[in-house]
Amino acid sequence: MVALGGALGASARYGAALLWPTAADGFPWTTLGVNTLGCAAIGVFMVLIGEVWAAHRLVRPFVGTGVLGGFTTFSTYAVDIQRLLDAGRPGPGLGYLALTLMAALTAVWSTAWATRRIVAWRRG
């Protein structure tokens, strides 16, 4: 299930890279966006399957580890940082390092918080 989900997630990430390619010397906006979006989805997903629904035991490995783990790309994030540093662009490289970390953590926290609030409101 993890491999199947990972193939789907990685395919979606590859599609994003094809739609919004990054120039060799450009800032990796696509990777930043994919990682932020994937972390936001993880925040929603973990609340829903951990606190709201009694999901089948294969849902978490398929969606969480597989799809969303394959979609987010922290290995490419590390390569992008190294590429920027190797190109003599330490400012953008370190900025990207910090911005991705802040965006990913904020995305997970804020979507988990919002999902909990929406669920509580709907239960009423």
Instruction: Write the CA distances from 90 to 29, 76, 86, 98, 122, integer angstroms.
Output: 16, 17, 8, 12, 47
Instruction: With cut-offs at 50, 70 and 90, classify the pLDDT of residue 124.
Output: confident
Instruction: Give the integer Cα–Cα distance in Å for 40 and 33.
Output: 10
* pTM score over 0.75: yes
Mean pLDDT (whole number) for 68-80: 91
* Residue 64 lies in domain: 2-123
pLDDT digits (tens, 9 = 90+) for 19-67: 999 887 789 999 999 999 999 999 999 999 988 988 899 999 999 999 9
What is the C-alpha to C-alpha distance for residues 44 and 122, in angstroms, rounded to an integer?
15
**Pick the residue with more confidence: 73 or 16?**
16
Number of folded domains that form the chain: 1
What confidence category does residue 74 fall into, taking pLDDT thresholds of 50, 70 and 90?
confident
